[in-house]
Amino acid sequence: MRHLFTKTASLAAVAMLAFTAAQPAQATQSRQGARDAAVAPAYFEMTDITRSTFIVKLVEEREINHARDLVNGETTERPHVVGRIVKRPADYNPRWNFHYDPQTVQFFDVGIEVCDATIPYVEDHLDEAGGPFLPGNIFCPWTSTLVREVPAP
């Protein structure tokens, strides 16, 4: 019975995370029609416990401002990156065969274990992502840290 409860709780947590990650993208679509000028994307280098680096593209003004506050030491709240990964390289992040969907990137304090992994581990197990490993392709490295803002490619 405990095993069933654990599986059910894990699935519920993943569903909540996926719903939370999907909301900003939906909100963006409705707001973008009302905005005349789009926010210019911003790019940030992040690292994790392995010291591997990864470039994150941000397109939401709120998330861009928060990322800049983190990099400049103006906040320590929600320091870690979460979002849905896309299983193909991006021109701004050529070292890796995956990248975050910019519409889904957010920041968090504490995440659930099912979406935690290191950057190299995701690369090495990319074919498994979306199943039991990183359900919904949600990636939330608990040791992620933004290092600096980088120029657009």
pLDDT band at 37 (very low <50, low <70, confident <90, very high): low
Q: Which pLDDT score, from 0 to 100, does residue 153 have? A: 87
CA torsion sign for 85, 140, 109, 142 is: negative
Asked whether 139 and 120 are in contact (CB, 8 A), the reply is no
Element (H, E) at 15: helix 2-32
Q: Cα(150)–Cα(118) distance, rounded to whole angstroms?
A: 21
Cβ atoms of 17 and 115 within 8 Å: the answer is yes
Question: Which residue would you say has higher pLDDT here, 91 or 27?
Answer: 91
Query: Counting beta carbons within 10 angstroms of the beta carbon of residue 132, is it exposed (0 to 12), middle (13 to 18) or buried (19 or more)?
Result: exposed
Domain regions of the chain by residue span: 2-150
In the prediction, which pLDDT does 70 show?
97
